[in-house]
Amino acid sequence: MDVIAFLKLVFFTQLYQSRLLLLTYKFWKAVLGIYTNTTELFRICANASDEAGLTADWYQSELTEEETDSIDSDRTPLLNRGPLRDASISVETVFRVDRSILYSSRLVMERRTLESLRCDLDEITQTILYKKNFPENGSTKTPSAMVLHYCLTQIRDSYKLAHEINDRATTKFDSNNKQHEKKLLELWDLLMPDEQLEGRYSEQWTKIGFQGKDPATDFRGMGMLGLDDLVYYAKNYPESAHDVLKSSRRNSSWRPFATVGINITFFAVQTLRTRQLQYFLFKYGSTKDIYHEFFCYLFHSFNEFWISHDQSTITIMDFEKIFNQFKRNIIQELLNRKSMVLDSSKDMFIQYEKTK
């Protein structure tokens, strides 16, 4: 990363965290807009299209014959087809477009539409192009329009993920649902492979950090998402999960594994709902597995943070204080664009690196 790129990263990292800095930036945008007769959103997209080497002629040359035939002259073409398959649109560009729309007083309705599951992306793109004074009276065939549509696709996907995660968090554990019961028993087998569970209702559940004989009662706050997260962690990072479980059962600094995990699920969902996780999602993809990977990073990291304290002095009574400090650290890591994954060699992350 060159010096200019680094300084831009630092600036935009801090921009939306400081009211004074944000007001100053808004003033600068207004002056620049008057001077250049352009909007911030257009400038972001235009700069990105220049960096990616996009041209209107390239748009046509990159379309397949089938895609070309599908374009009706009286209808907006689907811009997320050919042209941007191999173009390099940076994560920073997507993030800045997201922030620009989020803080735009003129795009409130468009933002709300993006958040809904019934979203016509071509129609929203056309509206924003017009409202934000993109060239050629908001033509969808300009390079900057291609970039905007690409970014809106990523933003819409992040909202779709939020809906999916929220739905799972509000899905109550149902003891009469065979799939729910199967997943719960799978968690036991993953964490305690050498010990047979004596019964569905058993004090044995406390060994992996549940509060009583019936783990189902612990999932009331985060629904099935809490169980999904724990199973994903135990299945995909068994060594880490077993180390954390072992660490959690030390008499001197005991804390309940499963209960802590559910607290971490709640925090992970908060970062998603408040859009603090946006850069991470734009970087790696807005999928449920990517969300689970973030959870795994949090659980593993919290254990390291916990054991970094003097184990002879801390108890479960210190959990809230230590967990709050941990959350503040994570928020700062998100702001600083830290790579927050446990295993960067996984295919999902290797694929990301290949595209950059």
Long-range contacts of 208-211 (CB under 8 A, 24+ apart): 208/245, 208/257, 208/258, 209/245, 209/248, 209/255, 209/256, 209/257, 209/258, 209/259, 209/260, 209/261, 210/256, 210/258, 210/259, 211/256, 211/259
Query: 124 Cβ partners below 8 Å, 6+ apart?
Result: 110, 113, 114, 152
Say how far apart CA 304 and CA 353 lie, in whole Å.
27
Residues 112 and 183 both lie in one domain = no
In the predicted model, what is the mean pLDDT of residues 182-188? 97
Q: Looking at residues 299-305, what average pLDDT do you find?
A: 96
Provide the domain limits for residue 318. 178-354
Report the pLDDT value the prediction gives residue 25, as an integer from 0 to 100: 62
Among the ranges given (80-94, 109-123, 194-208, 283-297), the one the predictor scored with the smallest mean pLDDT:
80-94
In the prediction, which pLDDT does 88 show? Answer: 79
Higher pLDDT, 43 or 347: 43
**Confidence band for 17, pLDDT divided at 50, 70 and 90:** low
Predicted confidence at residue 74, as pLDDT, reads: 38
Q: What is the pLDDT of residues 62-79, one digit of tens each?
A: 444 444 444 444 333 444
Q: What pLDDT shows up at residue 103? A: 87
Which of the 8 DSSP states describes residue 318? Answer: G
* Whole-angstrom distance, CA of residue 218 vs CA of residue 240: 22
The domain total for the chain is 2
140 with 52, same domain: the answer is yes
pLDDT value, residue 23: 67
Mean pLDDT of the chain: 85
Q: Residue 183 domain-assigned? A: yes
Asked if 135 and 190 sit in the same domain, the reply is no
Band of pLDDT at residue 51, cut at 50, 70 and 90 = confident
In a domain, 202, yes or no: yes
Q: For residue 195, is it within any domain?
A: yes
Residues 156 and 190 in one domain: no
Average pLDDT over residues 18-35: 63
